């Protein structure tokens, strides 16, 4: 399901709803520290979910280059921050993204940008991992794609299980990364290196 970019003038309606939430929590909205909080929260939410409005085609298509290179390309330790769609609490960590080119490479800066597009949505880590891999596979048409996300989930650390420092690791292996154990192992070894 694709969501459209938020309409202009959405900050005030979001702020009004957050004022209601604060009131229901028993807060005093006239208190100095809370006077502008609803507007700040509204703007922060719009910023943290700006990935819905991204044009992935424009992001990637302008940075595809014909190159005679057939070895693995890996961008690792890409920092990301996202919001869990179940509790609207942050999860954050690192993404490791690799692909095997088939006559085309993508500008290296586009890979972290692609990670950010999918992170800046209400997410579950498993879906985000797949979205990154499937987008690279469909747009770049490489021989294979591997994506690993390692993240801490505040919905697990601050509430519920209260399981501190228990990162969740998800992966998506497509094409040669799924079929060829040597390719997969090379990817995993490169991700593990210099840690």
Which positions ≥6 away from 88 have C-beta within 8 Å? 122
Question: 106 with 148, same domain?
Answer: yes
pLDDT confidence band for 160 (50 / 70 / 90): confident
Give the Cα separation of 155 and 162 in Å (integer).
8
Question: 125 with 36, same domain?
Answer: no
Question: 124 with 78, same domain?
Answer: yes
What are the angstrom distances between the C-alpha of 90 and each of 85, 119, 156, 173, 183?
Answer: 9, 10, 10, 25, 33
* Percentage of the chain modeled with pLDDT above 90: 89
Question: 63 with 124, same domain?
Answer: yes
Task: Give pLDDT, residue 40.
Answer: 97
Nearest of 172, 174, 152, 176 to residue 164 by alpha carbon: 152
Domain that holds residue 22: 11-48
By annotation, the residues acting in catalysis are 84-87, 125, 153, 155
Over the stretch 116-148, which tens digit does the pLDDT of each residue have? 999 999 999 999 999 999 999 999 999 999 999
Question: 33 with 118, same domain?
Answer: no
Checking if the pLDDT of 165 tops 60, the result is yes
Of 22-31, 123-132, 159-168, 180-189, which range is least confident?
159-168
In a domain, 97, yes or no: yes
Question: 140 with 173, same domain?
Answer: yes
In a domain, 28, yes or no: yes
Domain count, the chain: 2
Question: 113 with 93, same domain?
Answer: yes
Specify the CATH number for the domain of residue 87: 3.30.1130.10
């Amino acid at each position: 399901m694709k969501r459209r970019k938020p309409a202009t003038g959405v900050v005030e309606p979001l702020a009004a709803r957050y004022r209601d939430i604060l009131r229901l929590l028993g807060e005093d909205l006239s208190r100095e520290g809370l006077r502008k909080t609803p507007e700040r929260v509204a703007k922060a939410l719009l910023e943290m979910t700006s990935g819905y409005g991204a044009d992935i085609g424009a992001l990637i298509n302008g940075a595809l280059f014909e190159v005679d290179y057939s070895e693995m390309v890996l961008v690792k330790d890409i920092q990301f921050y996202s919001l869990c769609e179940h509790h609207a609490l942050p999860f954050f960590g690192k993404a490791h993204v690799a692909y095997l080119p088939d006559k085309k490479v993508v500008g290296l800066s586009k890979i972290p940008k692609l990670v950010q597009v999918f992170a800046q949505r209400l997410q579950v880590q498993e879906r985000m991992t797949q979205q990154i891999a499937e987008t690279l596979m469909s747009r770049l048409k490489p021989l294979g794609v591997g994506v690993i996300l390692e993240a801490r989930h505040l919905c697990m650390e601050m509430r519920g299980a209260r399981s501190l420092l228990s990162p969740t690791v998800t992966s998506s292996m497509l094409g040669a990364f799924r079929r060829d154990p040597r390719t997969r192992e090379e990817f995993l070894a490169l991700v593990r290196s210099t840690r």
